[in-house]
Amino acid sequence: MTARVASIEPPYAPELQAIFDRMMPPGIPPLTLFTTLASDRRLFDRFRKGGLLDKGHLTLHQREIVIDRTTALAGSEYEWGVHIAFFADRAGLNEAQRHSLVQGNGNDSCWSREERVLLEACDQLHATCDLDDALWAELRRVFSDAAIIEIVMLAGFYRTVSYLTNALRLPLEHYAARFSI
């Protein structure tokens, strides 16, 4: 696949290299998504400030379920594969769960009740851009209001990321997982 917009090439300006160094694990070059968006510093800065990869109201496991399900539903193999490569092991996502995020649903036996609620939220947000009252009540039994807002924000942000990776036709990172899990 050929990207529709050229990414910037190294060497990067020192201030930009410092940003990439903070965003990426040591020894891993910046993602093509980052180097593409960095061709316009304003857009790149806005993108970076919208992320929620810090310690928030969700555990790493919960956060990655939301991100991975959202990107899978949106058909972003690029972003799903990067997150699986970087976070799935640390987040405790097993092979059955990784497969289910792409090919299955919350009814698969690999999910707990709490995880099923997260998946249902992702599925509903993807399909309707809303959460119905019954699901909201179910979410409130498990999560705080702040955590529910974070779930919605994560799903929305990674839907935007999926739009970018798909519409820009970004080539898959060589180390990233593939949907064919």
Which pLDDT tens digit goes with each residue over 109-164? 999 999 999 999 999 999 999 999 999 999 999 999 999 999 999 999 999 999 99
Quick one: average pLDDT of 39-47? 95
Report pTM. Answer: 0.95
Quote the CA–CA distance of 143 and 151 in Å, as a whole number: 10
Cα torsion through 106, 111, 115, 116, rounded to 10: 30
Task: Band the pLDDT of 180: cuts 50, 70, 90.
Answer: confident
Instruction: Identify the structural domains of the chain with CATH numbers, from first to last.
Output: 14-49 (no CATH), 60-167 (1.20.1290.10)
Instruction: Please answer whether residues 115 and 101 qualify as being in contact, where contact means their C-beta atoms are separated by less than 8 angstroms.
Output: no
Residue 181 has pLDDT above 80, yes or no: no
